[in-house]
Protein backbone atom coordinates (compact mmCIF):
# COMPACT_ATOMS: atom_id res chain seq x y z
CA UNK A 1 0.00 0.00 0.00
CA UNK A 2 1.13 3.49 -0.80
CA UNK A 3 -0.39 6.89 -0.28
CA UNK A 4 -1.94 6.29 -3.72
CA UNK A 5 -3.99 3.41 -2.30
CA UNK A 6 -7.59 4.17 -3.19
CA UNK A 7 -10.24 4.45 -0.51
CA UNK A 8 -12.65 1.54 -0.91
CA UNK A 9 -16.08 2.76 -1.99
CA UNK A 10 -19.59 1.69 -0.94
CA UNK A 11 -20.47 -1.54 -2.71
CA UNK A 12 -17.07 -3.18 -2.15
CA UNK A 13 -17.52 -6.44 -0.24
CA UNK A 14 -14.77 -5.68 2.31
CA UNK A 15 -16.89 -2.85 3.73
CA UNK A 16 -19.52 -5.44 4.72
CA UNK A 17 -17.18 -7.95 6.37
CA UNK A 18 -16.59 -8.18 10.12
CA UNK A 19 -12.91 -7.20 10.56
CA UNK A 20 -10.48 -9.66 12.13
CA UNK A 21 -8.59 -8.93 15.37
CA UNK A 22 -4.92 -8.08 15.19
CA UNK A 23 -2.74 -10.56 17.09
CA UNK A 24 0.73 -9.89 15.63
CA UNK A 25 1.85 -6.43 16.71
CA UNK A 26 5.36 -7.00 15.29
CA UNK A 27 4.12 -7.60 11.73
CA UNK A 28 5.62 -5.07 9.30
CA UNK A 29 2.46 -5.16 7.15
CA UNK A 30 0.43 -4.07 10.22
CA UNK A 31 2.69 -1.06 10.86
CA UNK A 32 2.80 -0.10 7.18
CA UNK A 33 -1.01 -0.25 7.01
CA UNK A 34 -1.31 2.16 9.96
CA UNK A 35 1.13 4.56 8.31
CA UNK A 36 -0.82 4.40 5.04
CA UNK A 37 -4.16 4.87 6.83
CA UNK A 38 -2.84 8.02 8.50
CA UNK A 39 -1.46 9.44 5.22
CA UNK A 40 -4.66 8.79 3.29
CA UNK A 41 -6.88 10.16 6.05
CA UNK A 42 -4.86 13.41 6.06
CA UNK A 43 -4.82 13.65 2.24
CA UNK A 44 -8.60 13.17 2.12
CA UNK A 45 -9.29 15.70 4.94
CA UNK A 46 -10.83 12.92 7.00
CA UNK A 47 -11.26 12.98 10.78
CA UNK A 48 -11.05 9.21 11.04
CA UNK A 49 -10.44 6.08 8.99
CA UNK A 50 -10.76 2.33 9.44
CA UNK A 51 -8.62 -0.43 7.91
CA UNK A 52 -11.51 -1.90 5.86
CA UNK A 53 -11.69 1.41 3.97
CA UNK A 54 -8.28 0.52 2.52
CA UNK A 55 -9.35 -3.05 1.76
CA UNK A 56 -7.74 -4.56 4.90
CA UNK A 57 -10.19 -6.48 7.10
CA UNK A 58 -8.35 -5.84 10.38
CA UNK A 59 -9.65 -4.22 13.57
CA UNK A 60 -7.69 -0.98 13.25
CA UNK A 61 -9.03 2.56 13.21
CA UNK A 62 -7.70 6.06 13.65
CA UNK A 63 -9.66 8.96 15.09
CA UNK A 64 -8.22 12.42 14.47
CA UNK A 65 -10.77 15.14 15.13
CA UNK A 66 -9.58 18.49 13.84
CA UNK A 67 -11.00 21.27 11.69
CA UNK A 68 -10.84 20.25 8.01
CA UNK A 69 -12.56 21.29 4.80
CA UNK A 70 -15.00 18.40 5.37
CA UNK A 71 -15.61 19.23 9.08
CA UNK A 72 -14.70 22.90 9.60
CA UNK A 73 -16.08 23.04 13.16
CA UNK A 74 -14.48 19.83 14.50
CA UNK A 75 -12.60 20.13 17.80
CA UNK A 76 -8.83 19.60 17.82
CA UNK A 77 -7.37 16.38 19.23
CA UNK A 78 -4.23 14.39 18.43
CA UNK A 79 -4.68 11.36 16.16
CA UNK A 80 -5.14 8.09 18.06
CA UNK A 81 -4.52 4.68 16.54
CA UNK A 82 -6.87 2.10 18.05
CA UNK A 83 -6.36 -1.63 17.52
CA UNK A 84 -8.96 -4.24 18.53
CA UNK A 85 -11.22 -1.54 20.03
CA UNK A 86 -14.44 -1.93 21.95
CA UNK A 87 -16.65 0.56 23.75
CA UNK A 88 -19.34 0.99 26.36
CA UNK A 89 -21.89 3.77 26.43
CA UNK A 90 -21.54 6.13 29.37
CA UNK A 91 -24.80 7.94 28.59
CA UNK A 92 -27.58 6.06 26.78
CA UNK A 93 -28.87 9.28 25.22
CA UNK A 94 -28.73 9.16 21.42
CA UNK A 95 -28.43 12.37 19.46
CA UNK A 96 -28.44 12.97 15.73
CA UNK A 97 -25.76 14.92 13.94
CA UNK A 98 -24.34 15.08 10.43
CA UNK A 99 -21.91 12.46 9.17
CA UNK A 100 -20.17 11.78 5.92
CA UNK A 101 -17.74 9.06 4.91
CA UNK A 102 -14.68 8.83 2.69
CA UNK A 103 -16.13 5.55 1.35
CA UNK A 104 -19.51 7.17 0.56
CA UNK A 105 -18.59 10.46 -1.15
CA UNK A 106 -21.04 13.20 -2.02
CA UNK A 107 -23.67 12.71 0.67
CA UNK A 108 -24.24 13.46 4.35
CA UNK A 109 -26.83 12.12 6.76
CA UNK A 110 -28.16 12.69 10.25
CA UNK A 111 -27.09 9.67 12.31
CA UNK A 112 -28.06 8.84 15.91
CA UNK A 113 -25.05 8.09 18.15
CA UNK A 114 -24.26 7.93 21.86
CA UNK A 115 -23.02 11.26 23.20
CA UNK A 116 -20.54 9.79 25.71
CA UNK A 117 -18.64 6.50 25.55
CA UNK A 118 -15.65 4.78 27.13
CA UNK A 119 -13.33 3.07 24.68
CA UNK A 120 -10.89 0.24 25.34
CA UNK A 121 -8.23 -0.42 22.71
CA UNK A 122 -4.67 -1.52 22.13
CA UNK A 123 -2.00 0.76 20.73
CA UNK A 124 0.49 -0.17 17.99
CA UNK A 125 2.65 -2.04 20.52
CA UNK A 126 -0.29 -4.03 21.93
CA UNK A 127 -0.61 -2.07 25.20
CA UNK A 128 -4.20 -1.69 26.45
CA UNK A 129 -5.70 1.77 27.04
CA UNK A 130 -9.04 3.21 28.15
CA UNK A 131 -10.30 6.58 26.97
CA UNK A 132 -13.47 8.56 27.62
CA UNK A 133 -14.88 10.28 24.52
CA UNK A 134 -17.84 12.57 24.11
CA UNK A 135 -19.63 14.57 21.46
CA UNK A 136 -17.82 14.81 18.08
CA UNK A 137 -14.83 12.54 18.93
CA UNK A 138 -17.27 9.92 20.31
CA UNK A 139 -19.25 10.17 17.06
CA UNK A 140 -16.11 9.73 14.95
CA UNK A 141 -15.12 6.66 16.98
CA UNK A 142 -18.58 5.06 16.63
CA UNK A 143 -18.58 5.78 12.88
CA UNK A 144 -15.18 4.13 12.40
CA UNK A 145 -16.05 1.27 14.78
CA UNK A 146 -19.06 0.49 12.58
CA UNK A 147 -16.65 -0.14 9.69
CA UNK A 148 -15.07 -2.92 11.78
CA UNK A 149 -18.53 -4.49 12.11
CA UNK A 150 -19.23 -4.33 8.38
CA UNK A 151 -21.57 -1.34 8.67
CA UNK A 152 -21.59 2.11 7.10
CA UNK A 153 -23.24 5.19 8.57
CA UNK A 154 -26.19 4.94 6.19
CA UNK A 155 -27.16 1.70 7.95
CA UNK A 156 -27.87 3.79 11.08
CA UNK A 157 -30.03 6.47 9.42
CA UNK A 158 -33.57 6.42 10.81
CA UNK A 159 -35.31 8.27 7.96
CA UNK A 160 -34.31 8.61 4.31
CA UNK A 161 -35.19 12.32 4.54
CA UNK A 162 -32.15 12.65 6.84
CA UNK A 163 -29.87 12.01 3.81
CA UNK A 164 -28.75 15.03 1.77
CA UNK A 165 -26.22 15.93 -0.91
CA UNK A 166 -22.89 17.14 0.46
CA UNK A 167 -23.35 20.44 -1.42
CA UNK A 168 -26.54 21.05 0.60
CA UNK A 169 -24.72 20.13 3.82
CA UNK A 170 -22.09 22.81 3.19
CA UNK A 171 -24.82 25.40 2.47
CA UNK A 172 -26.44 24.56 5.83
CA UNK A 173 -23.28 24.85 7.90
CA UNK A 174 -22.31 28.12 6.18
CA UNK A 175 -25.66 29.71 7.03
Does the annotation mark 158 as catalytic?
Answer: no
| Beta-sheet strands, E only, within 21-153 | 48-50, 60-63, 80-101, 104-122, 128-134
Instruction: Evaluate whether 74 touches 64 at the Cβ level (below 8 Å).
Output: no
Enter the DSSP assignment of 6.
P
Active-site pick, 39, 144, 158, 168: 144
Identify how many contiguous H helices and E strands the chain contains and give both numbers.
Answer: 3, 6
38 is in an annotated binding site: no
Burial letters for 32-53: b for 16+ Cβ neighbours within 10 Å, e otherwise? ebbebbbbbbbebebbbbbbbb
In this structure, the number of other CB atoms found within 10 A of the CB of residue 78 comes to 8
* 3 alpha-carbon distance from chain centroid: 18
So which residues are the catalytic ones?
A: 144
**Binding site, annotated residues for Fe cation:** 101, 143, 147
**Binding site, annotated residues:** 101, 143, 147
Amino acid sequence: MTSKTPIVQLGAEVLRWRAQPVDDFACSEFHKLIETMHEIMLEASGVGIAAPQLGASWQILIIASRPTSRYPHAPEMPPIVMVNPSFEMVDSTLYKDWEGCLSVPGIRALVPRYRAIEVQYQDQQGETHRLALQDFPARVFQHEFDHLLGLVYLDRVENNQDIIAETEFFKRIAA
